[in-house]
C-alpha cells in the first residue's frame, strides 16, 4: 500500500531542489505523481515550489478534475496527464524552467549529441516541441510525437518536462540536461565542441542497452541512423522552427560513407579493401 503522505513529502523535497537550483522562479513549475489508475497528486498553482508542505498537494483525476486538496491544482496539469496517458510505465512528471536548457528552448537550437557519455546513456536525443500557449490541451498535445521515445522534452520558448518511475528520477533528467546545456555553452565560449565519434558512441549505446535504459537508436527502426546527428527527432525540426545555428554538427556518417563510395576507384577492390576505404574516409571527415 502506498504511503501518500510520504509521496507528498518527496514532492515537496523535489520542489525545494528545483527552487534552490533556480529551475523555477517565484511560482514557476509543477510536479505530479500518479498514485492510482485515475488518481494523480499535483502541486498547487501560484505557489513557490521551494516552500511546499504536504498539505498543499491536491489530488486530481485523469481528466484534470480536482478531487481533494485545500489549494487549486496547477494550471498546467493537462500536460502531465497526457504523458501518463501515453506512457503507462510513468509514475511522476516534473515541469520546470532550468535556465540553460530553457536557453536552447528559446533559441530553438537542437541539443548536440555524442559529446558527454552520461548524456548519451541517460538522455539520448532530446526533442524540442512546437510552441503552444501553456495550460490547454493543445499545449499538452505538443509532447505526443516525442513522449514514447524519450524521458525528457524541451518545450519551445517555455522550459522542460521530464518523467520517470519516481519523482526523484523524473527530476534527474531535467537536472542532467541543464547541467549538460551549461557545459555546452561554456565550451562554445572556449571555441570548440569535440565529438566522441561513431565508434565510441556505439560503445555507450551498448552500455545503455546492457543497463536497461531504452534508446531508439538501439532499435531496428533506427539501426541505420547517424547516431550522432539528431536523427531521431530531426523530422520534427521544420514544424517547430528548430535549426542548428550555434553548434556545428558532427560529420554525417552516412554521407561520408556514400561520398567515399562515389569517389573511390572501386574496380579491382575486394570487400575488405572497400570497407577500409570507406572507414578511412569517415575518420578523415570526422577529424576535419
Listed residue (93, 74, 81, 237) closest to 151, CA to CA:
93
Give pLDDT, residue 2: 85
Are 32 and 192 spatial neighbours (Cβ–Cβ below 8 Å)?
Answer: no
Q: How far apart are CA 147 and CA 93, in angstroms?
A: 12
Sequence-separated (6 or more) residues with CB below 8 Å from residue 266: 274
DSSP 129: P
- Residue 151: C-alpha distances to residues 10, 85, 164, 264 (Å): 20, 14, 7, 42
Q: How far apart are CA 145 and CA 153, in angstroms?
A: 11
Are 279 and 271 spatial neighbours (Cβ–Cβ below 8 Å)?
Answer: no
| pLDDT tens, per residue, the chain with 288 residues | 689 999 999 999 999 999 999 999 999 999 999 999 999 999 999 999 999 999 999 999 999 999 999 999 999 999 999 999 999 999 999 999 999 999 999 999 999 999 999 999 999 999 999 999 999 999 999 999 999 999 999 999 999 999 999 999 999 999 999 999 999 999 999 999 999 988 999 999 999 999 999 999 999 999 989 999 999 999 999 999 999 999 998 887 664 444 444 555 555 556 665 555 555 555 555 454
Phi-psi category of residue 39: left, alpha or beta, with phi > 0 → left and psi -120 to 50 → alpha: beta
Give pLDDT, residue 284: 53
- Grid cell listed for 175: 537536472
Phi, then psi, of 163 in degrees rounded to 5: -155, 150
- Residue 70: C-alpha distances to residues 47, 78, 151 (Å): 13, 20, 31
Q: How far apart are CA 63 and CA 54, in angstroms?
A: 23
Give pLDDT, residue 252: 78
Q: How far apart are CA 68 and CA 55, in angstroms?
A: 11
Amino acid at each position: 500500500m502506498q504511503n501518500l503522505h510520504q509521496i507528498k513529502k518527496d514532492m515537496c523535497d523535489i520542489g525545494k531542489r528545483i527552487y534552490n537550483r533556480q529551475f523555477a522562479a517565484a511560482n514557476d513549475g509543477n510536479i505530479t505523481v500518479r498514485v492510482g489508475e485515475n488518481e494523480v497528486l499535483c502541486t498547487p498553482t501560484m505557489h513557490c515550489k521551494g516552500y511546499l508542505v504536504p498539505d498543499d498537494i491536491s489530488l486530481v483525476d485523469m481528466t484534470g478534475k480536482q478531487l481533494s486538496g485545500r489549494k487549486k491544482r496547477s494550471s498546467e496539469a493537462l500536460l502531465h496527464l497526457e504523458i501518463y496517458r501515453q506512457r503507462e510505465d510513468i509514475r511522476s512528471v516534473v515541469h520546470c524552467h532550468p535556465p540553460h536548457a530553457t536557453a536552447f528552448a528559446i533559441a530553438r537550437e537542437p541539443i548536440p549529441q555524442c559529446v558527454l557519455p552520461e548524456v548519451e546513456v541517460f538522455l539520448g536525443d532530446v526533442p524540442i516541441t512546437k510552441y503552444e500557449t501553456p495550460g490547454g490541451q493543445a499545449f499538452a498535445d505538443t509532447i505526443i510525437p516525442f513522449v514514447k521515445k524519450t524521458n525528457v522534452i524541451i518545450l519551445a520558448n517555455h522550459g522542460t518536462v521530464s518523467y520517470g518511475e519516481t519523482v526523484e528520477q523524473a527530476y534527474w533528467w531535467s537536472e542532467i540536461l541543464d547541467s549538460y546545456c551549461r557545459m555546452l555553452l561554456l565550451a562554445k565560449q572556449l571555441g570548440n565542441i569535440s565529438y566522441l565519434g561513431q565508434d565510441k558512441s556505439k560503445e555507450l549505446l551498448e552500455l545503455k542497452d546492457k543497463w536497461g535504459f531504452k534508446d531508439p537508436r538501439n532499435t531496428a527502426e533506427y539501426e541505420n541512423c547517424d547516431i550522432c546527428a539528431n536523427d531521431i527527432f530531426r523530422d520534427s525540426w521544420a514544424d517547430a522552427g528548430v535549426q542548428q545555428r550555434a553548434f556545428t554538427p558532427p560529420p554525417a556518417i552516412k554521407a561520408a560513407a556514400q561520398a567515399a563510395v562515389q569517389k573511390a576507384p572501386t574496380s579491382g577492390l575486394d570487400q575488405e579493401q572497400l570497407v577500409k576505404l570507406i572507414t578511412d574516409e569517415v575518420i578523415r571527415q570526422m577529424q576535419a
